[in-house]
Amino acid sequence: MKAILDHIGIAVRDLGAALAFYRDALGLEVEALEEVGSEHVRAQFVGVGESSLELLEATAPDSPIAKWIEKRGPGLHHITLRVEDIAAALAELKGRGAKLIDEQPRPGAEGALVAFVHPSSAHGVLVELKQSAVGGRHQPGAVQDFGPAHTRSDGVTRYSLGDFELISLSDGFFRLDGGSMFGVVPRPLWSQKAPPDDRNRITLAMRPLIVRGARTMIIDAGLGDKEHPKFLELYGVERARNLEHSLAEAGLTADDVDIVLATDLHFDHAGGFTMCDAGGRLRPRFPRAQYVVRRGEWEDATHLHERSRASYFRDNFAPLADAGVLQLVDTDQTIMPGVRVQRTGGHTMHHQIVWIESAGKDAVFVADLMPTTAHLSQLWITGYDLYPMDTLAAKQALAREALERKTLVFFEHDPAVAAGYISEENGTHTVVPLW
Ligand SMILES: [Zn+2]
């Protein structure tokens, strides 16, 4: 196993005082500041050659860093080793009887996968293993292309694009069979990018996107909360933090949404379109919104066949028609100024993606055309796709266009990356994550 020292985490009582030493007295260069809301931690990276120091300050008394300092005082907290294949590294350690805090890798910052090894197996040091995202760290300067820098906090990422603010939200995670998610790609290849659990399932996110301009639009709405425990278990659903939380974190309520736009009507996109009220009646989740759906997709969702039955649930969309808030569109068109839909087919016959354009900049929400960054590779097409050859053609066209136009691409189901740029090196496309 080859490992590179990525960074050293140091627990500090006062970040300002720590910077007075590391930045001012030692003259080290300050890098990114990160807030991890869920952990109540603020992390300031300081560059030291190929590696960094990560100064960790608690932002609340119940933060793990506060507890650490209380017990041991400030000082060395962890070291992070970057490995090429985190799943293989964990398997190796486990095989040798090492005590792991994380048996499976989990999403970390910047699109990385991380896992902690218990100090008792590492001679008193907490060791974090890290596998960088497909495209590595984002390039400095990339952010400037999109005006004011984005900010990130647990599940909510903000971007500015011309006159729009784009806010990537989270409705939590679910799991699908890894083989089904990558079609003809053999497991030894896909399992490196998407480590499976003991039931061969991989973790997928649900990331609806808010487009805020003169009006407020949400693209897709995640799974919602109408599903039964058996379903939740089967699909490994984790919605402890869901759309409700991330809307609130973005400073929005369901009442703020004017338009709900569907890319397709599968349960992981349309589940959050409706809800049960106190009387057990189904009603639209966004009370003031018009819901925009492609007519062909609507027809398919309301006329099931054997292959589509498992994905379309009437309760997610039929109440929209009953409430008179459904707007069906027939063609590629502008939904609100600067936002247009384009049919790609592939995943479903009428699956559509969404282009967002303002002040000469653009972004695209690719939905199930490329559910994760791993699906950028041309032949990595899910087994769920009804028309894989259409997916292939649409993906090739999209990658070309996004590369040429420096489009910010939003990935609806990637567990670690909300959005990124496509870059090309020696004819191979990769994603440079922007979180
Ligand atoms: Zn999907």
pLDDT of residue 316: 97
Ligand 1 geometric centre to CA of 239 (Å)? 16
Ligand 1 geometric centre to CA of 367 (Å)? 6
Please check whether residues 108 and 240 belong to one and the same domain.
no
Query: Looking at 131, 154, 175, which one is the last position of a domain?
Result: 131
Among residues of the chain, what percentage have pLDDT more than 90?
64
Query: Looking at 131, 151, 181, which one is the last position of a domain?
Result: 131
Q: What is the mean pLDDT of residues 29-46?
A: 76
User: Do the domain assignments include residue 400?
Assistant: yes
pLDDT band at 140 (very low <50, low <70, confident <90, very high): very low
Please check whether residues 287 and 395 belong to one and the same domain.
yes
pLDDT of residue 108: 66
Please check whether residues 313 and 370 belong to one and the same domain.
yes
User: Do the domain assignments include residue 305?
Assistant: yes
First-to-last alpha carbon distance for the chain, in angstroms, is 27
Q: Which residue has the higher pLDDT, 70 or 385?
A: 385
Residue with tokens 């292939």: 392
User: Do the domain assignments include residue 35?
Assistant: yes
pLDDT of residue 110: 60
Q: Where are the beta strands (DSSP E) in 37-74?
A: 41-48, 51-58
Q: 178 pLDDT exceeds 60?
A: yes
Q: What is the mean pLDDT of residues 321-345?
A: 97
Q: What is the mean pLDDT of residues 223-241?
A: 94
CA distances from residue 219 to 139, 335, 405 in whole angstroms, order as listed = 28, 11, 22
What lies within 8 Å, CB to CB, of 223 at 6+ separation is: 171, 172, 174, 206, 237, 239, 267, 268, 271, 272
Q: 208 pLDDT exceeds 90?
A: yes
Name residue 435's beta-bridge partners: none
The C-alpha atoms of residue 410 and residue 421 are separated, in whole angstroms, by: 9
pLDDT tens-digit readout, 351-381: 999 999 999 999 999 999 999 999 999 999 9
pLDDT of residue 38: 64
Neighbours of ion ligand 1 (CB under 5 A): 268, 368
pLDDT band at 324 (very low <50, low <70, confident <90, very high): very high
Residue 90 is part of which domain span? 3-131
pLDDT of residue 373: 94
Q: 187 pLDDT exceeds 90?
A: yes
Q: What is the mean pLDDT of residues 56-60?
A: 88
Ligand 1 geometric centre to CA of 189 (Å)? 22
pLDDT tens-digit readout, 72-123: 889 999 999 998 888 888 888 988 889 888 887 776 666 577 889 989 889 8
Q: What is the DSSP letter of 319?
A: H
Query: Which of 55-64, 158-167, 375-384 shows the lowest mean pLDDT across its residues?
Result: 55-64
Ligand 1 geometric centre to CA of 20 (Å)? 47
Among residues of the chain, what percentage have pLDDT more than 70?
92
User: Do the domain assignments include residue 398?
Assistant: yes
CATH number of 106's domain: 3.10.180.10
Buried b (16+ CB within 10 A) or exposed e, 395-434: beebbeebeebebbbbbbbbbbbbbbbbbeeeeebbbbbb
The C-alpha atoms of residue 172 and residue 168 are separated, in whole angstroms, by: 12
pTM attached to this predicted model: 0.69
User: Do the domain assignments include residue 136?
Assistant: no
Residue with tokens 């006062």: 14
Ligand 1 geometric centre to CA of 220 (Å)? 9
Ligand 1 geometric centre to CA of 211 (Å)? 19
Q: 232 pLDDT exceeds 90?
A: yes
Please check whether residues 112 and 214 belong to one and the same domain.
no
Ligand 1 geometric centre to CA of 371 (Å)? 7
pLDDT band at 155 (very low <50, low <70, confident <90, very high): confident
Please check whether residues 350 and 378 belong to one and the same domain.
yes
- Maximal C-alpha separation, the chain: 69
User: Do the domain assignments include residue 419?
Assistant: yes
Please check whether residues 359 and 410 belong to one and the same domain.
yes
Ligand 1 geometric centre to CA of 205 (Å)? 9
Please check whether residues 109 and 148 belong to one and the same domain.
no
Please check whether residues 111 and 205 belong to one and the same domain.
no
The C-alpha atoms of residue 169 and residue 254 are separated, in whole angstroms, by: 13
CATH number of 351's domain: 3.60.15.10
Q: What total of structural domains would you count in the chain?
A: 2
Ligand 1 geometric centre to CA of 400 (Å)? 23
Please check whether residues 244 and 113 belong to one and the same domain.
no
Query: Looking at 107, 131, 155, which one is the last position of a domain?
Result: 131
Residue positions counted in the chain = 435
Ligand 1 geometric centre to CA of 316 (Å)? 14
User: Do the domain assignments include residue 138?
Assistant: no
Ligand 1 geometric centre to CA of 386 (Å)? 13
Q: What is the mean pLDDT of residues 252-277?
A: 97
Q: What is the mean pLDDT of residues 232-245?
A: 94
pLDDT band at 165 (very low <50, low <70, confident <90, very high): very high
pLDDT of residue 257: 98
pLDDT of residue 402: 95
Ligand 1 geometric centre to CA of 360 (Å)? 29
Name residue 42's beta-bridge partners: 35, 57
Residue with tokens 């609100």: 336
Please check whether residues 118 and 164 belong to one and the same domain.
no
Please check whether residues 123 and 154 belong to one and the same domain.
no
Please check whether residues 199 and 254 belong to one and the same domain.
yes
